[in-house]
Chain A
Amino acid sequence: MSITAVEVRRPQRWDQPFDERALSARDVDWILTHSPFSAIDESDFTPSASLRDILRNDARIVRCLAGDIVYRAGDYGTSAFFVLTGQVRVVLEGDKPRDGESADERLAEKISGSVLHERRGFVDALSQLWKNSKSPEARDFDRDAQASRVRSKGLFIQDVPAVLNEMETTTVGAGHLFGELSALGRTPRTTTIFADNQCELLEVRWQGLRDLSRRSASLSKTVDDLYRKDALDEQLQATEIFANVNAEGKRRLVEETVFQNFGNREWTATYKALAEKGASQRLKKEPIIAEEGHYPNGLILIRSGFARVSKQFGNGHRTLSYLGKGQIFGLEELYHNWRSSDPLPYRYSLRTVGYVDVLLVPTRVIEEIVLPNLPEELIPDPLVGDVRDSNFLTSQESSQLHTQHLEQLVEARFVNGTATMMIDLERCTRCDDCVRACASTHDGNPRFIRHGAQIGKFMIANACMHCVDPVCMIGCPTGAIHRVSLGGEVAINDPTCIGCGTCATNCPYENIRMVEVRDHAGALLRDEGTLAPIQKATKCDLCVDQQVGPACQNACPHDALHRVDMRQTKKLLELLER
């Protein structure tokens, strides 16, 4: 292999603008005449990231005709939209149900066009056999050749009047913002939005939205207020136990529900040091959301992050399960107390794992509005046995994951993964077929290391887990690391990556590696100015562009390697007990 080097210009933040081309000065002038940008003071911005530069590079103008879909519920997106002219319609989970179909299912019938998700065709896939580069981490520095494989386009609603007739919708007009919940929370879109008439939208990628909010106090307040309101609405809509609550009840719920957050947003910086401490010390560092033996003052809904459900056992706490986004805590106790004259305290403790956003619905509101309307299938089983005894475990609890596994999975935060690579070491023959398959599907470069923490007989390998909350995305200056719009896999757009290493530093699991890149002849690429090697962030992309999903899992002949969604505890249990 050649050890010579080639000088190239180091990639910069705005080398790859959000749109194919950066917006023109005229476009930016025009945007600045529209609300809310007309109210922003340009002098609040720094010369290195001016308001005009942010708009030029981190935004694009989307022009829609009536019926054009802006985005659909369930899509992943990392951008928010400002309505510049015209208006859009938001499809609500309607008050006009039809045979149990959701609004999204009904809407799907009326959508034409297609989502183009570029997976390789047969010949393209097969050509990897001879086209893969002989040099490690080889890159085409011809930017046009590096275009992203994943695009979407061309969705529209054929019969807008029918949608308006059959579904409950609301409008969002000029000057307003939408889509911020998904952009800032790294979560799927919660509603479908389509153009109500001919309209012009400004789509801003979240890095731009972050910088705009940071510099403009008024915009920051607008974004924050909207984020909190939409987050609350979305959570209450999505929680099954509120399904039978009427509109007035929902209004009261929104009014009385309290936003709370626990722990430290920067948990990724401290958790490794914490992991080395004793169990009791670790437990002390986990802020208590609800404590065993205390009066249940409300129903707790997890909005984001993870919480540990534990029970006092001897001088420590035994982990019984973990709760993630959308799960609730305390319903059994609240229901028991509502029906019985012998009130019970919380039977378990709920503790923060890292950082958790919760909604607390006060007991009074739950008893007045929710419990009388609780859907029958959600009524908790009566609590039997001596539930005050600290050693009492219900049958549900005793069938939970093996405590030791659970403790380790929670403490190492592996529960964050939706595609965690778990290798059964008692079946793995160390043949490395998984590594070779990964390399074959990534231009000769494996995107994981068959090495990592061991939990029982399972290894949690150093492969991207495609987290529920991908903290690696926080701070990426260019948006190179992003969620793929359809499946939500976390991927890196190589041409946009400037090699700053923020994602690799943020990843608490050390699953992102910075590599020095070469040209196809094997020569190292160096910055023409500083002569420092050009680096790129690399990680598992779950083979989003391949025909067959994760090649590593498919290539394991001994059924040892599995990509596990840790939210599906039943499947996890099946794997652990297989």
Chain B
Amino acid sequence: MIPFAKRRTINTSILAALVLVSWLSLSVLEASIRATSFWSGWVLLVTVVSLALFNTRKKLPFLKLGTAATWMQFHIYAGLFSVLAYLAHAGFQLPQGSLEFGLCLLFALIAASGFVGLFLSRVIPVGLTSRGEPVLFERIPALRLGLQHEVEEIVVECAKANQTTTISDFHTKRLDDFFRRPQNVLYHLIGWTRAMLELEREIEAMDRYLNDSERDAVALILERAHLKDDLDYQWARQLVLKGWLFVHIPLTFSLLILAALHVFVVYGFRGNLP
């Protein structure tokens, strides 16, 4: 089993070597007064198509097509290579035509979403592991509903037993909404705990109006509020982990269609270029 650090070193070295070879090849082609954009264009297209094939590999887990981890490594480093290949192909400048500009924009968005996705997939899991129970994304609504019902039951029982509405009023005004749906999504993504601290302060502020029995009920509610906050944290971060692919993949298919059109136009208007 190759340690991750060693694998990174090997893959980076291979990428560096590939970039060097490509750069030398381009220089030779330029020196021989050939149209290097055709060469760099085909290299870029092959790279982008091979990057897009990763999604196809995922759909065929029953065939001997190599492990997804190997494909992922290829995807990361070929993705980096494709950015350099694109820059070389576009001559390190913004394109003029609307088709080419559209291609440039799509490529930039895909590359950016790829890098963001890579960053998120390395950072978010660490946070998910360190807070709350490991929970399946699909089960979060059911767990949230369970907490919501538990809190409602505590509130009703407390109101019946004490014949007061302090807690039930607070529940209607503040807690009902908190337990009903995901809250503080942005705070959880950034890693701030301010919103939960605020809720805790509001609950504590109620303390002077409560008797011992009500305080016990509030302690139970607070415990569930923390569990709900952990669920929100898991929900927000898992949502982002799943969500970025909904940007990355559809844009890739759009890029492939535009790229095919680009190739068609280029060869249609090629003329007598060598």
Which residues of A pack against B, CB within 8 Å? 120, 122, 125-126, 128-129, 425-431, 433, 436-437, 440-441, 450-451, 454, 457, 459, 546-548, 551, 553-560, 571, 574-575, 578
Contacts and interface: CB of A to CB of B under 8 A. Distances in A.
The size bracket of the interface on B is: 20 to 34
5 contacts: A428-B125, A437-B58, A547-B63, A555-B61, A556-B67
Given A554-B61, A578-B3, 6 more contacts: A128-B62, A429-B241, A548-B61, A557-B58, A571-B1, A575-B1
A98 B69 CA distance: 44
B247 interface: no
Contact of B63 (A122, A425, A431, A558): A122
Nearest to B1: A574
Nearest to B6: A578
Contacts of A454: 134
Contacts of A129: 59-60
B4 interface: yes
* B1, B62, B128 — most chain A CB neighbours (10 Å): B62
A279 B66 CA distance: 44
A457 B1 CA distance: 18
Contacts of B4: 559, 578
Contact of A426 (B1, B64, B125, B242): B125
Contact of B128 (A126, A430, A553): A430
A457 B127 CA distance: 11
Nearest to A454: B134
A425 B124 CA distance: 10
A80 B151 CA distance: 60
B86 interface: no
A433 B63 contact: no
Contacts of B126: 426
B136 interface: yes
Question: Interface SS of chain B: helix, strand, loop or mixed?
Answer: helix
Interface string B56-80: 0011111110011101100000000
A129 B137 CA distance: 26
Contacts of B68: 433, 554-557
A120 B58 CA distance: 19
A441 B58 CA distance: 12
B125 A429 contact: yes
Given A430-B241, A451-B134, A547-B62, A558 B69 contact: yes
A554 B62 CA distance: 9
B113 interface: no
B125 A450 contact: no
Contacts of A441: 61-62
Nearest to A545: B62
Interface in B18-64: 58-64
A425 B60 contact: no
Contact of A430 (B1, B71, B238): B238
Contacts of B129: 425-426, 457
B121 interface: yes
Nearest to B2: A578
Contacts of B67: 553-556
Given A431-B241, A441-B61, A555-B61, A578 B1 contact: yes
B56 to A, nearest CB: 11
Given A440-B61, A554-B61, A578-B3, A430 B137 contact: yes
Given A429-B124, A555-B68, A574-B1, A548 B63 contact: yes
B62 A557 contact: no
Contacts of B59: 129
Nearest to B121: A429
B136 A451 contact: yes
A513 to B, nearest CB: 15
Given A425-B129, A558-B72, A450 B136 contact: yes
B188 to A, nearest CB: 15
A437 B136 contact: no
Nearest to A450: B136
A177 to B, nearest CB: 42
A554 B68 CA distance: 6
A23 B82 CA distance: 67
A429 to B, nearest CB: 5
Interface in B97-138: 121, 124-126, 128-129, 134, 136-137
Nearest to B126: A426
A428 B126 CA distance: 9
| Residue among B3, B68, B69, B128 with max Cβ neighbours from chain A (10 Å) | B68
B74 to A, nearest CB: 11
Contacts of A125: 62-63
B20 to A, nearest CB: 28
